[in-house]
Amino acid sequence: MAVLAECAYCHKKQSVRNKLCTCGADLVKLKRSKKVKYWIGYRIPGDKQRREPIGYSIEEARDAEGKRRSQKRENRIFDMLAEAKMTFKELAEWYLGLKAVKKLASYDRVELALKNFNTVFGDKLVGTIFMTSGEQSKPTC
Ligand SMILES: [Zn+2]
């Protein structure tokens, strides 16, 4: 996990320790004038590297990184995924809208199965299902 600094000119994301961007921009000066956007980079097990834009304050970026770090340590992976904040209905819409899925010969059956599932679970957030099943879950209050 790392906090990354984005150059205001070439938009390259790089170590916050860099003083000079490869494009020649003076990162120290840009940081001072709050023109550097901070990102956090992290890896979720089984997933590619993720990057999340935070803003123009390095303190905020460090806080956000700390939050992700503790979520990862506690295995609260689903809290980290934007998808977990979707309802199943939204997830089904997204899935059925995929080009590869639309081409399926079984599209009608898949659509029907999801429709049946969503008559019960449609309004539930995807993340809440994962948190109430599975062995890592603890009651959250
Ligand atoms: Zn640059």
DSSP string, 37-68: EEEEEEE-TTS-EEEEEEES-HHHHHHHHHHH
Q: What is the whole-number distance in angstroms between the Cα of residue 66 and the centre of ligand 1?
A: 26
139 within some domain: no
110 and 55 in a common domain: no
71 and 111 in a common domain: no
Query: Domain of 119?
Result: 82-132
Q: What is the whole-number distance in angstroms between the Cα of residue 11 and the centre of ligand 1?
A: 6
21 within some domain: yes
Reported as a single tens digit per residue, the pLDDT across 64-113 is 999 999 988 887 777 777 777 788 999 899 899 999 999 999 999 999 99
Residue 133 clears pLDDT 50, i.e. is over it? no
Q: What is the whole-number distance in angstroms between the Cα of residue 68 and the centre of ligand 1?
A: 27
Reported as a single tens digit per residue, the pLDDT across 17-49 is 999 999 999 999 999 999 999 999 988 777 778
105 and 126 in a common domain: yes
| Cα distances (Å, whole numbers) of residue 42 to 18, 57, 59, 65, 95 | 19, 18, 17, 8, 25
Q: Domains in the chain: how many in total?
A: 2
137 within some domain: no
Confidence tier at 54 by pLDDT (50, 70, 90):
very high
11 and 55 in a common domain: yes
Residues with CB under 5 A from ligand 1 (ion): 7, 9-10, 21, 23, 25
